[in-house]
Structure 1
């Protein structure tokens, strides 16, 4: 007789030689130190929804959770890097990558790459194509291509590949827990490295949804069109979060079909097969956030 698979709200983030796990009440970090030992602990977690309860509401909660992930994830990255020599951190491509991402978010280059450039390129076709819907689809297609190139490019960096292997350990461990099995390396190993509620799926689905939502806004002049793309981001985040949450809960054929694009991007880019020692780190992080009440973490 088949066993029902639990849909847990527990999620995680791969770090430098470690994993951040977020449970329903607490978060944890587990890091493989240079001497080979695992350092695992409960970490302080603050959420914007605690301060502003409006971010607990559907569609708004997605923006709050994304903000919390960026803020708390950055702190966790700093912590995982703190175990390694200063000269190694400075030379590490991984450290450079994460701090570059933060810089990009601050300066707006990330937004320019995924919103301004596709808008500008698609505008070159405006004189040749009369359909506003088609022009928006072209812009969305260009944005998808940019995203895939970005993901596949960073996945070739040696240090990033290792982080993506920890990402796989996180997914496998969560899947093992959802199947109600004991968290051992052997049990975790046999589960899929892909998960429908992954952050990669969230980002890629947001890119896809943007092509459909933005088609409703016509084709104004380039400056107004770029402004529209920026202002629409919170709405896209809210819609995509609710979609990903539903896909993570549902066993319907429709949910599985809609999850395929995000799972494909995980497969080709951001999630790799972990080693046994990486799985041990994921298990250590997971065990600290599992609630005593088995229903407390259900979606």
Structure 2
């Protein structure tokens, strides 16, 4: 799936080998509403926009591949999203805090506590990504992830979208969602450090849950800034993002690159090349 400001496109390799491509005309929320372009606000809006589009594209791709007979309702989508956020919070915020609490007294050594919690959080995140990366379907998913990055890089350089040109591009991209996840983890450590001890007062879990959009918004600004600047701090953040991308990006096959090219061309309203089979 490729998302452009005015449309998103989906390309799926069908069981018979053809590539099905469809373009959905849809303005990004930041283009529909002026307030959605405000700093900090745009991060939460972009995250919601991306989650919504990703869900629809995954549902549609499963439908085209014959793996899903019925569409999932909107209620099921929002329920799944809420449950996922709760699980993510428990796994990547609450658990690291509890583990850090076993080593450091949060009430008396606040900064040290959150430094240790941040290390545990990074460890849990890396372990989780490394674990799912061993699954055959996820490895294939990560290869398509690399194909997307390469196709975007070729397009941004103004190169013709051929398999040869796309394959020559780097597999890592500074605006990758994996980098966003890494930055969210780092930003969360600093923002949550201003709250009363989580290990002492369990009821502070709910305010922290409400702060997830704020953490995501700040992380988005960090991602946006570091992707387009060359100062030492930006380079450090890009390096951190690329290190995390090593867990979610694999080198794609030529067939996967063909799919990424077809989706990119459809998203930016370019005519697919004659060498790319399109259903």
Question: TM-score normalised to the size of structure 2?
Answer: 0.85
Question: Could you tell me which residue of structure 2 aligns to residue 173 of structure 1?
Answer: 151
In the TM superposition, what is the alpha-carbon distance from 1:228 to its structure 2 partner? 4.2
Q: 1:170 to 1:204 in 2, by over 3 A?
A: same
In the TM superposition, what is the alpha-carbon distance from 1:287 to its structure 2 partner? 1.1
1:280 and 2:261 are equivalent in the alignment:
no
- Cα offsets for 1:211-259 (capped at 9, x unmatched): 2232233536332443343232122111110111112222344322211
Match of 2:3 among 19, 22, 29: 22
Match of 1:186 among 160, 164, 179: 164
Question: TM-score normalised to the size of structure 1?
Answer: 0.79
Secondary structure in 2 aligned to 1:216?
coil
Give runs of aligned pairs for residues 1-299 of structure 1, distance below 5 A: 20-45=1-26, 47-49=28-30, 53-86=34-67, 103=80, 105-106=82-83, 108-127=86-105, 130-217=108-195, 219=197, 221-267=200-246, 269-290=247-268
Q: 1:135 to 1:169 in 2, by over 3 A?
A: same
Moved more, 226-235 or 27-36: 226-235
**Is the contact between residue 28 and residue 42 of structure 1 (CA under 8 Å) also seen in structure 2?**
yes
**Displaced runs of 4 or more, over 4 A:** 46-53, 99-102, 126-129
RMSD (CA atoms): 2.6
- Cα offsets for 1:157-191 (capped at 9, x unmatched): 10111111010000001111122211110011111
**Is the contact between residue 196 and residue 244 of structure 1 (CA under 8 Å) also seen in structure 2?**
yes
- Cα offsets for 1:82-116 (capped at 9, x unmatched): 12234xx69xxxxxxxx999747426222211122
**Is the contact between residue 96 and residue 117 of structure 2 (CA under 8 Å) also seen in structure 1?**
yes
Secondary structure in 2 aligned to 1:82?
helix
Secondary structure in 1 aligned to 2:64?
coil
Distance 1:81 1:42 in 2: 17
Distance 2:106 2:35 in 1: 45
Q: Which runs of 5+ in 2 are unaligned?
A: 70-75, 271-279
Distance 1:60 1:28 in 2: 25
Q: 1:29 to 1:127 in 2, by over 3 A?
A: closer
Aligned residues: 262
Q: 1:50 to 1:250 in 2, by over 3 A?
A: closer
Distance 1:204 1:172 in 2: 21
Q: 1:177 to 1:163 in 2, by over 3 A?
A: same
Distance 1:22 1:266 in 2: 20
Distance 2:18 2:204 in 1: 52
Q: Which runs of 5+ in 1 are unaligned?
A: 1-19, 91-98, 293-299
